[in-house]
Structure 1
Amino acid sequence: MQLDIALLHAVVAVAKAGGFREAARVTGSNASRLSDSVRRAEQQLGVRLFHRTTRTVALTEVGRALMERLMPAMTEVDAALDIINRYRDTPAGTLRLNVPVSAARLVLPTLVPEFLARYPDIQLEVVAESNVQDVFREGCDAGIRYDECLEQDVIALPIGARRQRFAVAASPQYLARHGRPEHPSELLKHRCIRGRFASGVIPEWEFERDGEVVRIQPSGQLVVSIGAAVDLAVATAIAGGGIIQLFEEWLRPSLENGELEPLLQPWWPSFSGPYLYYPDRRLTPTPLRAFIDFIQEKNQLSLSNFSGKNHQNTSSIS
């Protein structure tokens, strides 16, 4: 039995996305075209691959059996076709990254322009979202996350600054009205601007100084979605609406221009920088391979600069 490979790609796309609209968004196609391709595939195969209702699209038993064998095969086909890239002057293709909004704002701006200039035939698609549970959702090739929690067959590569801090700040007008806290526990008496994960959890604020750890659950009038609405939280803090805790680099411009004043600096907790996560597989798509090599080059350059500075400091001390 022969089946057009384009129809197989459509079936796989719908199965991965769990629906026609989502598959159309991921693939850049349209839902009606994908639906027609799946219908034609089912007609040629003589079986129904999906249960369709007005709300859901789910694989049938035979559809699941087909996907178990078909998805690895399609991955191998894509990898085989990608070998053509080895014979090009520059790598080509599409690279899709799934990243938290913070990484899109704080990590990628220093990397993406140079990467795109170096590889003009690579198209980069960045999916930035606050719900960052699945690195490889929506057909993404790799993702950026802030903790090295490895799943099976996944590699983590450091990307960006290796040490970061959470900063706490408020506007001068807020502090003039409400006073300046001297200990994290005093934040319980202040209006604090909080964030909520997509899961619904509002995280505690954590502080650390000389081995002492303080965790509090502050209160305030404004709660924003972590990632998607952080700029609103910053704007509200600048306007005097309360105290904010956020990545130091995100708040730095407002701290430097005086719109916000730092609070409780000796207590600011630090954490490790983010990682680029990608599958541990033998045939890595060429655009992803190019990005991995680019990040490794940047990491090596940063390490060399750090070693050079340390050598200079040692020489000046001696």
Structure 2
Amino acid sequence: MQHNLKTLTTESRNERSMQIDTAEPMDILKIMNDDDQKIAKAVEEELPNIEVAVRYTLESFKQGGKLVYIGAGTSGRLGVLDAVECPPTFSTPPEMVQGIIAGGENAFVKAVEGAEDKPEAGVADLKAINLTEKDTVIGIAASGRTPYVIGALQYARSIGAKTVALSCNKNALISKEADQAIEVVVGPEVLTGSTRLKAATAHKMVLNMISTSSMILLGKAYENLMIDVHVSNEKLKERAINIITRITGVSYEEALEALQASNQQVKVAIVMLANNVTKDEAVKLLEEADGYVRRAINK
């Protein structure tokens, strides 16, 4: 695969930044900022493919399966980052959305050279989390050619899991190994081959879209409020109280009392106040509504 590297868009030279090494600080910033304007447009062009990934993910969640991001280097870190933010934001169990990086957890903070070159390592890492046919695996590689990701996708597909390949090159190698390809072509980087720039930003946007959309569709939002936030610190407690007051119209004190009575469960507190019911009754209403607050309130 080495001989193909120079043909990739992510490895091409950006004509607008050829003299960036002689530029002044503000000129460098302007070149980068101008180039970054292309990212959102490139993501927009892939929305139909991203929607498929969301549907895969939602179906996995409804079956009791999980969403797994897997990649090497920056790509792996982006997956881990999105995964670890789901429990505090949506009160999901840690195993529901998982991020795997080539080389293991230590590779998140210190590069593990050569880890991405082993397809068998991708297979082993997925086996280690007991991947099943109910799960969705998103392989992330800006170049679209990482052996570690290819191995992981091949294994996931072989056991019947849904697979998505996320890259920044057209006709990427990993695209051929997945049920759905997402190829966000942002063009050559300002610093040639440094895919921690535009490519990484694009992938962060896509991962945010997939996880957030899936959680909203699971009923973890009311209007545009995070009603399943995990109340684990003072900031999140204040946010929870504000969410409850905005939806129900009660005072701060009433919202705090309901939150405490609900055992820090924002959804339950909202239904308690909106329907003037006890905690147990609110829990039952939510169960009957499959966890959707809007349905529970309108019952």
- TM-score normalised by structure 2 residue count: 0.25
Greater helix share, structure number: 2
Higher Rg:
1
Greater strand share, structure number: 1
- TM-score normalised by structure 1 residue count: 0.23
